[in-house]
DNA sequence: ATAACGCGTAGCGATAGTGTCAAGATCGGC
DNA sequence: GCCGATCTTGACACTATCGCTACGCGTTAT
């Protein structure tokens, strides 16, 4: 199987060099010169890996990452000229998997690509559609199919994010800390009231009896669990 | 759930600093000063993440990585003073997940730890399950699978904590002191009534005949033992 | 034999954790 | 610049869990 890489950079000569180097290693390469194009390209042809240069003309790097992370878990390797530690932390916490500072050796980047894709290979999730009680949830399409007669269900971005984490770990307990960190960021690890708020909303929308949930369960003092 | 990190470095003051910094973020920290110790420590108490400094006194860094990769897919973050590209490629291709060059900011390392564990949380499906009599206990998913017909079993956080320590030492005696210290803290080392209390609850929930336990055994005057 | 000790069991108030409601703050589209 | 949707933030009652005390019983030591 061929690995498809989306390279995002605003300098044409770097795009050219990357394309040549990656093609030579038998990767399939798509390119984009700005954040908007990158997001559209990723949506049209979901890549297996994104190499993202910061300092794009149209968008903040962290926003591009968040735009991708809203609907996909594709690995993201960030390139940047900035050595500032705060930039790295921001990008990594936004959802990037690796951060490489320029100038970097081509062989190092290739090694990091191998490292990320190696772990990817064992993670073939491929469960984008899950049944939550009577509803059919499609994680990749972001749709909730109601049973005949029931009203349509719409979820907000935050609700999707939270639900996705739970649904990707069916039957398993997900700690409050991990949920808060993944949805709101590392500095919100103790704001459990957010979880209570949004879990209640999810239950109101997806559970037959929100007061006695059967699939979105609370484990007091520990976290939450999706029970298929 | 607490993330356990194994830090491997030959400089004591770095070990100390790492331990303090990571503990402050609520990670559980084990340390090792050389490659051999690290491999043994990882085998005895499998960590959720390894932070590995290259340039150890007894082994090549790549050999330590390969020694771990032989039997575990635990994420490995490599620290190194070398900026040589070839070193990075060697470490990454040996199986490391990330490579950070010294000097590095503490916050950057913490962000990379978060990035690696975040991905880990959604991918690790190799869950260690233990059979306690008729029940199947999954420590990472925090589930107790009852045999057909039996009622579901729910454990409280304290019960899980206590059970986890016993199950991680199958067949071995765990002293009352160690149990009390790990679950309730160092100042509770003599409050053996807590142990009696919670061991009784565990037996009530997991043993067929709580009065005559077959797996959660008492060693009078010493401690408790989980008998598989 | 009897006292001392350790263990299992029961019960109780205090409290941390949770569900819920409600209102302010922010954002984006028309 | 207004309006609706979404995200924050605060407050409060309720419940399960926890920390703790007390008691009965078997075993061991004196």
Residues 6+ apart with CB under 8 A from B87: B54, B80
What pLDDT score does A121 carry? 64
The H or E element containing residue A31 is strand A28-32
* Strand, helix or coil for residue B127: coil
Chain A to chain B Cβ contacts (< 8 Å): 94
Check whether A170 has a pLDDT greater than 70.
Answer: yes
Chain A: nearest CA to B89, how far in angstroms? 5
- What average pLDDT score do residues A140-147 get? 83
- What average pLDDT score do residues A143-168 get? 87
Closest CA to B60 of B78, B40, B41, B85: B78
A186·B114 Cβ contact <8 A: yes
- What average pLDDT score do residues A78-107 get? 90
Give the chain B residue whose CA is nearest to the CA of A85: B108
Range from A69-73, A85-89, B15-19, B85-89 carrying the lowest mean pLDDT: A69-73
Distance CA A197, CA A207 (A): 15
A172·B123 Cβ contact <8 A: no
Task: Closest CB to A168: pick one of B114, B122, B127.
Answer: B122
What pLDDT score does A56 carry? 86
Q: Tell me how crowded residue A159 is: count the other CB atoms within 10 A of its CB.
A: 17
Range from A12-26, A82-96, B33-47, B120-134 carrying the lowest mean pLDDT: B120-134
Note whether B103 and A126 are within 8 A (CB): no
Chain A: nearest CA to B29, how far in angstroms? 18
Task: Closest CB to B1: pick one of A85, A111, A175.
Answer: A175
Kindly list the distances between the CA atom of residue B125 and the CA atoms of A125, B73, B201, in Å, as whole numbers in the listed order: 10, 11, 29
B108·A88 Cβ contact <8 A: yes
* Strand, helix or coil for residue B204: helix
A111·B89 Cβ contact <8 A: yes
Distance CA A129, CA A132 (A): 10
What is the rounded end-to-end Cα distance, in angstroms, of chain B? 24
B122·A73 Cβ contact <8 A: yes
With a pLDDT cut of 70, the percent of chain A lying above it is 96
Is strand D within 7 Å of residue B200 (CB)? no
Residues 6+ apart with CB under 8 A from B133: B206, B207, B208, B214, B215
Tell me, letter by letter, the H, E, C secondary structure of A1-29: CCCEEEEECCCHHHHHHHHHHHHHCCCEE
Kindly list the distances between the CA atom of residue A177 and the CA atoms of A103, A173, A221, in Å, as whole numbers in the listed order: 36, 11, 11
Give the A-side interface with B, CB within 8 Å.
73, 75, 85-86, 88-89, 92-93, 95-99, 105, 107-108, 110-112, 114-115, 119, 122-123, 125, 165, 168-169, 171-175, 177-178, 181-182, 186, 219-223, 225
Q: Side by side, which strands form the sheet with B76-80?
A: B28-32, B4-8, B49-53, B76-80, B98-101
Give the chain B residue whose CA is nearest to the CA of A74: B119
Q: Chain B residues with CB inside 8 Å of A86's CB? A: 107
Q: Chain A residues with CB inside 8 Å of B86's CB? A: 107
Q: Taking the C1' atom of D5, which residue's CA lies nearest?
A: A156
Nearest 10 degrees: Cα torsion B100, B101, B106, B112: -10
Distance CA A165, CA A139 (A): 10
Among left, alpha and beta (phi > 0; psi -120 to 50; other), residue A175 is beta
Residues 6+ apart with CB under 8 A from B31: B6, B7, B8, B9, B15, B18, B19
Distance, C-alpha A119 to centroid of its chain: 16
Distance CA A224, CA A203 (A): 12
Range from A58-72, A119-133, B97-111 carrying the lowest mean pLDDT: A119-133
Say how far B183 CA is from D30 C1', in Å: 36
- What average pLDDT score do residues A20-45 get? 89
Q: Side by side, which strands form the sheet with A173-175?
A: A173-175, A223-226, A216-219
* Strand, helix or coil for residue A92: helix
Q: What is the pTM of this model?
A: 0.73
Note whether B144 and B76 are within 8 A (CB): no
What pLDDT score does B123 carry? 47
Q: Chain A residues with CB inside 8 Å of B143's CB? A: 171-173
What pLDDT score does B124 carry? 45
Using DSSP bridges, classify how beta strands A129-132 and A98-101 pair: parallel, antiparallel or unpaired.
unpaired
Which of A173 and A43 is assigned the larger pLDDT? A173
What pLDDT score does A126 carry? 56
What pLDDT score does B1 carry? 56
The CA-based angle A141-A144-A146, given to 5 degrees, is 145
Query: Alpha-carbon torsion A227, B2, B4, B5, what sign?
Result: positive
What does each of the 228 residues of chain B score in pLDDT, given as a tens digit? 568 899 999 999 999 999 999 988 878 899 999 999 999 888 877 898 999 999 899 988 899 999 888 878 899 999 998 888 899 999 999 999 999 998 888 999 999 999 998 887 654 445 677 888 889 999 889 999 888 777 789 999 999 999 999 998 888 899 999 999 989 998 898 899 999 999 999 999 999 888 899 999 999 989 999 998
């Amino acid at each position: 199987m061929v690995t498809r890489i989306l390279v995002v950079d605003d300098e044409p000569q770097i795009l050219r060099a990357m394309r040549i180097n990656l093609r030579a290693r038998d990767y399939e390469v798509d390119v984009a010169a700005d954040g908007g194009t990158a997001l559209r390209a990723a949506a049209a042809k979901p890549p297996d890996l994104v190499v993202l240069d910061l300092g794009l003309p149209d968008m903040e790097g962290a926003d591009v990452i968040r735009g991708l992370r809203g609907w996909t878990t594709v690995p993201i390797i960030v390139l940047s000229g900035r050595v500032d530690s705060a930039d790295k932390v921001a990008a990594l916490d936004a959802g990037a998997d690796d951060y490489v500072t320029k100038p970097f050796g081509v062989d190092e980047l290739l090694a990091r690509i191998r490292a990320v894709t190696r772990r990817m290979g064992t993670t073939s999730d491929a469960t984008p559609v899950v049944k939550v009680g009577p509803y059919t949830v499609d994680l990749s399409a972001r749709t909730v199919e109601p049973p005949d007669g029931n009203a349509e269900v719409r979820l907000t971005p935050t609700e999707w994010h939270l639900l996705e984490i739970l649904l990707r770990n069916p039957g398993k307990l997900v700690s409050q800390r991990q949920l808060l960190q993944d949805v709101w960021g590392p500095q919100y690890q103790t704001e459990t009231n957010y979880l209570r708020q949004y879990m209640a909303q999810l239950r109101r929308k997806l559970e037959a009896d929100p007061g006695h949930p059967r699939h979105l369960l609370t484990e007091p003092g520990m976290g939450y669990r999706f029970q298929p």
